[in-house]
Structure 1
Amino acid sequence: MKWRRIPAGPLGTNCYVVWNQENNCLIFDPGGDEQIIKAFIKKNNLNPKAILLTHAHFDHIGALEEIRSTYQIPAFVHEKEAKWLLDPALNGSQFFQMGVIRCRPADDFITKEGSQNFGGITLEILETPGHSPGSVSFYFEEGGFVISGDALFLGSIGRTDLPGGDHKQLIKSIHDKLLSLPEDTIVLSGHGEETTIIQEMDHNPFLNGF
């Protein structure tokens, strides 16, 4: 299992492309700069199968429609954020003066945790709310990495001052769902560089005591 981090959009949000030996790929959080994302897919002869969203804040969905339309693939978001794609007030684009974003509804919804297969690629869905009500992380046991969205960062955690944010819930999500993963698991965050579970257990100042 291979992955590539592609910083995109006005906030440099990390879009991730993950692919298998058959070159089937999944696209996570296409936040903008769709031409860069599409160029990478073309250069590597990848076959997109689905778009998966860790959550539906504006900086994670800026290129959603372009990518979805280009490849005619389904987009998935947690059911708790079903309305966020359509509503600039919920996805935050209304407040940050970077352009209002309205997307079509998701093609399907994430409703539970557990192992799921998308286009021949198996991953485990972990519900990690706190940054937003429907935040999820995607764990690839075979590849030894987890896409954590805006839950856990290198030396930091997600903000919780946006609508639906809950600091205590976020800390619990990180402790119960992410820090319980193997210590050498690579954490692919929504912003910034990758880290590891053991690195954050030992050095993240927001996780003291864990």
Structure 2
Amino acid sequence: MSLKYRIIPVTPFQQNCSLIWCEATKRAAVVDPGGDLDRILAAVKEEGVTVEKILLTHAHIDHAGGTADLARQLTVPIEGPHQDDNFWIQGLPQQAQMFGFPAPDVFTPDRWLEHTDTVTVGDQTLAVLHCPGHTPGHVVFFHRDSGLALVGDVLFHGSIGRTDFPKGDHATLIRSIKDRLFPLGDEVAFVPGHGPMSTFGQERATNPFVSDHRG
């Protein structure tokens, strides 16, 4: 028995919300519910799982906009991101206004996450890696047994996260990828915040921003 996942693109930004669940217990978590809650809840029903928590990689509107509403509907706790993203959570209404999203409620996570913490989903355990750069409080969730990482907007197939937002930092982001993600192993597959999945090995070989061949 292992960790299963399903990617649910949400919001006009086609953000990869993920439904992850423990095969043995059918207990699940929703990672980055940015919006389109009806689509997320339909996936939960189709998979026959019970959501026990919400996990957040970071607090940009397309990843966190539906969080308070979903937590209220399902009566579940919110875990993540790192506390350094609190200013993004407090600014969710302004973010929504800027990008034409429905106005979301501000919330306080039930648990802020730190580097080397763990989170559980049913009987499965995922490691937490603090990977700042795109946002200062960005975290990544890594399930070692299945070689799967949920990396939010840190790394994409062929690209990396933007660093031109408040408190973003390009050098910090590159360090997060090279020092915290790539050492997990070339074979690790990752779900990015947008676009198709890839592996760390593929990005090390071909990604123009962080490949081993970049001078």
2:89 is the counterpart of 1:85 = yes
Q: Determine the C-alpha separation between the residues in 1 that align with 2:152 and 2:19.
A: 13
Instruction: Give the match for residue 4 of structure 1.
Output: 6
8 Å CA contact retained: 1:116, 1:123: yes
Q: Report whether the alignment pairs 1:56 with 2:59.
A: yes
Deviation at 1:94, TM superposition (A): 4.0
How far did 1:66 drift?
2.4
| Structural RMSD (CA) | 1.7
2:84 partner amino acid: K
Corresponding position of 1:13: 15
Query: CA offset at residue 67 of structure 1?
Result: 1.5
5 Å matches for 1:33-48? 33-48=36-51
Report if aligned partners of 1:82, 1:109 keep a CA contact under 8 Å in 2: no
- Per the TM alignment, residue 54 of structure 1 is displaced from its structure 2 partner at its CA by 0.4
Mapped partners of 2:37, 2:131: distance in 1: 27
Contact 1:130 1:168 in 2 (8 A): yes
Residue deviations 1:122-141 (CA, integer Å, cap 9, x gap): 10000100000000100001
Code of the residue aligned with 1:10 in structure 2: it is P
Tell me, which stretches of 5 or more residues in structure 2 are unaligned? none
- Superposed displacement of residue 119, structure 1: 4.2
Residues 137, 177 of structure 1: alpha-carbon distance in 2 compared, 3 angstrom cutoff: same
**Alignment partner of 1:40: what SS?**
helix
Q: Which residue of 1 aligns with 2:79?
A: 76
Deviation at 1:82, TM superposition (A): 2.5
Assess if the C-alpha contact under 8 Å between 1:127 and 1:136 holds in 2: yes
Please state whether the residue corresponding to 2:151 is helix, strand or coil.
strand
Contact map agreement 2:19 2:31 (CA 8 A) in 1: yes
Deviation at 1:104, TM superposition (A): 2.1
CA contact (8 A) 1:83 1:105 kept: no
Q: Provide the aligned length of Structure 1 versus Structure 2.
A: 209
Which stretch has the larger CA shift, 153-162 or 102-111?
102-111
Q: Percent identical across equivalent pairs?
A: 36
Deviation for aligned residue 1:99? 4.0
User: What is the CA deviation profile of residues 47-67 of structure 1, one whole-angstrom value per residue up to 9, with x for unaligned ones?
Assistant: 111111000001111221221
Q: Which runs of 5+ in 1 are unaligned?
A: none
**Relative to structure 1, is the Cα distance of residues 99 and 8 closer, same or farther in structure 2, using a 3 angstrom cutoff?**
same
Distance 2:92 2:21 in 1: 31
* Structure 2 residue aligned with 1:147: 150
Rounded to whole Å, the distance in 1 between the matches of 2:105 and 2:72 is 14
Alpha-carbon shift at residue 95 of structure 1 (Å): 2.8
TM-score, with structure 1 as normaliser: 0.93
Looking at structure 2, the residues matched to 110 and 93 of structure 1 have their Cα atoms a distance apart, in angstroms, of 24
Is the 1:16–1:27 Cα contact (8 Å) retained in structure 2? yes
More helix by share: 2
- TM-aligned CA distance change 1:183 to 1:11, over 3 Å: same
TM-score w.r.t. the length of structure 2 is: 0.91
Secondary structure of the residue aligned to 1:129 is coil
